[in-house]
């Protein structure tokens, strides 16, 4: 039996439960707020363009991207990319998500420290996520503790990436709500609906960070048994 599928799996069960709950919550919030149209009638793309322009970010592009909830800000070419269900929709969910991605663009323009740190961690985190499992398993099979340790060390970059993501995402949502409130994009009673979607989405990042952290603890627990 592989070491990941023994009693040590109990360590990650809380994170699995939280991840499932978070996914259900964000799906419910998104679906319910996707059915509520904003009074102003702005689409996600239009709202994003106005927020960016009002913050002096006219060089940041707003583009459509395929998929559902694939919205993101790409700092490499300074583009806010909105999914099909957000770009052309005038729902409260669309406005909230578009404003959140603009929040990342504003972070970038302000040289927000955590965003810069997360971007620097992206390469090492991807490397750690892809190499951890093969290095750990090979190290276990051929009894090479140093290989196991390297795998764990590399995976720690992925854990740190998820942890640093938390302040980045929470701050982007905070900036989004400030923009929506001060810019008059949504009425006061509509702000609650947009915030509901952003708060639900935040829990998915919390779950991802907890999962990564508990996986690291699981690896250290298994490694400790080998000594």
The number of C-alpha atoms within 13 Å of 86 and in the hemisphere containing its C-beta is 30
Beta strand segments in the chain, E? 61-65, 72-74, 79-83
For residues 113, 119, 125 and 126, what is the CA-based torsion angle, rounded to 10 degrees? Answer: 170
Whether the CB-CB separation of 82 and 98 falls below 8 Å is answered with: yes
Q: Is residue 226 flagged as an active site residue? A: no
Could you give the C-alpha distances from 192 to 52, 158, 196, in angstroms and in order? 22, 33, 6
- Using CA atoms, how far apart are residues 72 and 126, in angstroms rounded to an integer? 18
- Do residues 34 and 215 make contact, with C-beta atoms less than 8 angstroms apart? no
Active-site position among 101, 169, 190, 226: 101
What is d(CA 155, CA 149) in angstroms, rounded to the nearest whole number?
10
Could you tell me the strand order of the sheet in which 72-74 lies? 61-65, 79-83, 72-74
Q: Are 4 and 218 in contact (CB under 8 A)?
A: yes
Q: Name the residues annotated as catalytic.
A: 101
């Amino acid at each position: 039996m592989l070491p990941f599928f023994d009693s040590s799996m109990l360590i990650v069960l809380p994170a699995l439960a939280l991840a499932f709950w978070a996914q259900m919550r964000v799906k419910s919030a998104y679906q319910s707020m996707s059915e509520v149209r904003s009074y102003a009638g702005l689409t996600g793309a239009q709202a994003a363009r106005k927020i960016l322009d009002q913050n002096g970010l006219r060089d940041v592009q707003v583009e459509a991207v395929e998929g559902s909830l694939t919205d993101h800000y790409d700092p490499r070419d300074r583009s806010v990319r909105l999914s099909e269900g957000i770009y052309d929709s005038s729902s409260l969910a669309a406005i909230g998500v578009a404003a959140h991605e603009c929040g990342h663009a504003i972070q970038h323009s302000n040289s927000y420290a955590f965003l810069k740190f997360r971007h620097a961690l992206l390469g090492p985190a991807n490397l750690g996520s892809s190499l951890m499992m093969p290095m750990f398993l090979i190290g276990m099979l051929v009894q090479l503790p140093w290989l196991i340790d390297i795998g764990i060390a590399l995976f720690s970059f992925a854990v740190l990436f998820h942890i640093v993501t938390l302040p980045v995402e929470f701050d982007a949502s905070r900036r989004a709500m400030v923009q929506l409130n001060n810019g008059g994009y949504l009425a006061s009673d509509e702000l609650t609906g947009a915030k509901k979607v952003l708060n639900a989405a935040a829990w998915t990042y919390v779950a991802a960070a907890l999962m990564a952290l508990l996986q690291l603890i699981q690896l250290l627990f298994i490694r400790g048994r080998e000594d």
